[in-house]
């Protein structure tokens, strides 16, 4: 749920700025699927930022994945265009999202994946695998005739590379898509829309109307 819509971004020129947000030691985030696809596209202009917790206090930690990511800007094929930011404070994330044009989440088995939704709310387009729960928001926008991002089959490197190429080759179109995403999430994830959907679901479950929130402010407190 988005409590208050973000204002439009100031104009930006230059290569597409790509962001992946995901725990560095969590291999299922598929950081290196994105890195590998961008290595294939290295003749094109872009930048990549990878941000995420460096902790291994997670369900299935992979410290080697984290360490490889942290070393990539120094040792990697496109390291000069990659920035890795471990442990970004929560209150610094809005500015990070606003500084990027495209948020990518190539995860496998991702129950939700909030980073693309948060990025969309701050004016970035989203590119996510079809194993991320957040695909539903992109699909809902598509059903409304709005382009806010793109989906690709999880684990399909060729499809990921092709999708990235389309975004990278059209910076203005990517940024326009991000603006559409900002406006769409302000509506689709608004408190009013959340309460309306909650009421509809509760009514289908047989909850009496007098036990349901009457307006958005009731659910937001």
Between residues 211 and 137, the one the model is more confident about: 137
Domain 16-189, classified CATH 3.40.50.2000, yes or no? yes
Residue 79 pLDDT: 98
* Alpha carbon separation from 86 to 9, 16, 63, 108, 129 (Å, rounded): 25, 22, 13, 21, 23
Write the CA distances from 184 to 140, 151, 153, 179, integer angstroms. 10, 17, 24, 9
Query: In this structure, are residues 64 and 32 in contact, taking their beta carbons and an 8 Å threshold?
Result: no
In 153-178, which positions are buried (b, 16+ CB within 10 angstroms) versus exposed (e)? ebeebebbbebbbebbeebeebbebb
Judged against a pLDDT cut of 50, whether residue 212 lies above it is answered with: yes
In this predicted structure, what is the pLDDT of residue 96? 97
pLDDT digits (tens, 9 = 90+) for 113-148: 899 999 999 999 999 999 998 888 888 899 999 999
Within 10 angstroms of residue 92's Cβ, the number of other Cβ atoms is: 11
Q: What percent of the chain has pLDDT over 70?
A: 86
pLDDT tops 60 at residue 111: yes
Q: Which of 192, 63, 163, 183 is nearest to 123 (CA)?
A: 183
Distance, CA of 116 to CA of 136 (rounded, Å): 12
Given a cut of 60, whether residue 54 has pLDDT beyond it is: yes
pTM of the model: 0.85
Mean pLDDT confidence for 180-184: 93
Specify the DSSP class assigned to residue 86. E
**Residue 61 — φ and ψ, nearest 5°?**
-70, 145
Within the chain, all domains assigned CATH 3.40.50.2000 are found at 16-189
> For residue 194, what pLDDT is reported?
61
Q: Is the pLDDT of residue 166 over 50?
A: yes
How confident is the model at residue 219, as a pLDDT? 39
What are the backbone dihedrals phi and psi of residue 194, each rounded to the nearest 5 degrees, phi first? -60, -50
Two structure tokens written together for 212 = 């349901």
pLDDT confidence of residue 218:
38
- pLDDT bin (cut points 50, 70, 90) of residue 221 is very low
Average pLDDT rounded to a whole number, residues 193-213: 73
């Amino acid at each position: 749920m988005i409590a208050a819509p973000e204002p439009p971004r100031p104009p930006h020129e230059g290569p597409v700025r790509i962001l992946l947000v995901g725990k560095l030691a969590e291999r299922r985030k598929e950081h290196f699927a994105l890195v590998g696809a961008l290595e294939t596209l290295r003749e094109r202009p872009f930048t990549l930022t990878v941000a995420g917790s460096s902790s291994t206090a997670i369900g299935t930690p992979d410290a080697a994945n984290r360490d490889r990511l942290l070393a990539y800007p120094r040792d990697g094929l496109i390291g000069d265009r990659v920035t890795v930011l471990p442990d970004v404070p929560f209150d610094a994330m809005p500015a990070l999202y606003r500084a990027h044009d495209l948020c990518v989440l190539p995860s496998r088995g991702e129950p939700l994946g909030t980073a693309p939704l948060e990025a969309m709310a701050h004016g970035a387009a989203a590119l996510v695998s079809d194993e991320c729960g957040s695909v539903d928001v992109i699909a809902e926008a598509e059903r409304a005739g709005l382009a806010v991002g793109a989906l690709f089959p999880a684990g399909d490197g060729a499809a990921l590379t092709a999708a990235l190429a389309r975004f990278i080759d059209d910076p203005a179109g990517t940024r326009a898509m991000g603006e559409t995403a900002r406006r769409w999430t302000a509506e689709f994830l608004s408190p009013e829309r959340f309460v309306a959907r909650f009421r509809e679901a509760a009514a289908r479950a047989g909850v009496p109307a007098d036990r349901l929130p009457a307006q958005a402010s009731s659910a937001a407190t």
